[in-house]
Amino acid sequence: DSGVTQTPKHLITATGQRVTLRCSPRSGDLSVYWYQQSLDQGLQFLIQYYNGEERAKGNILERFSAQQFPDLHSELNLSSLELGDSALYFCASSVALTDEQYFGPGTRLTVT
Amino acid sequence: KNEVEQSPQNLTAQEGEFITINCSYSVGISALHWLQQHPGGGIVSLFMLSSGKKKHGRLIATINIQEKHSSLHITASHPRDSAVYICAVRTETSGSRLTFGEGTQLTVNP
């Protein structure tokens, strides 16, 4: 158990819908990362927050947004969902900006 | 061409064998990570290294910065080592974001 929690574990929804994925980092970790793992693209970095501020952006679609709250938990919002958004979404956390990252168990999103 | 290349893509071994998984990268890096992804999907961080060698139990990771190459070794492999092993780098210009290799699927047969 890495200490990073993600909810829900599984999510099935229809095209066009909006979902919110939640991540709680390890106690004491200030940095949160979101990753997407799809069958055809592999693991890709989406976005990083550090102590509530966005620090880095990767291949995140405009339909996706994220935020980190004062209690350091983070949410990833996915809207206007398409079939291609079906993937595993991982959250990771680290103490500071460049430390080892600890991964959550992931949320498996299926868009039908 | 991907910035991070792993070989082999698939590896099958017999229990007890010594295993090596390779990772080559084409950019300057500040750190390299080895991750393990279990069949259920969970990802575990095995090592983060920027030089030399690290050892944890039966796992050894090495990196050669000049040759832009890293290896993950598993000694006395066991069926429970069966997983996907992923190499990821933090480049000098990307801050803390990771760029991932495609992974190596390891199967260890009893």
| pLDDT computed for residue A39 by the predictor | 83
Residues of B within 8 A of A99 (CB-CB) are 48
Reported as a single tens digit per residue, the pLDDT across A13-66 is 999 999 999 999 999 999 999 999 998 888 999 999 999 999 999 989 999 999
Chain-chain contact of A90 with B33 (C-beta, under 8 angstroms): no
d(CA A40, CA B64): 30
Report DSSP state, residue B50.
S
Chain-chain contact of B94 with A97 (C-beta, under 8 angstroms): no
d(CA B81, CA B15): 9
| pLDDT computed for residue A43 by the predictor | 92
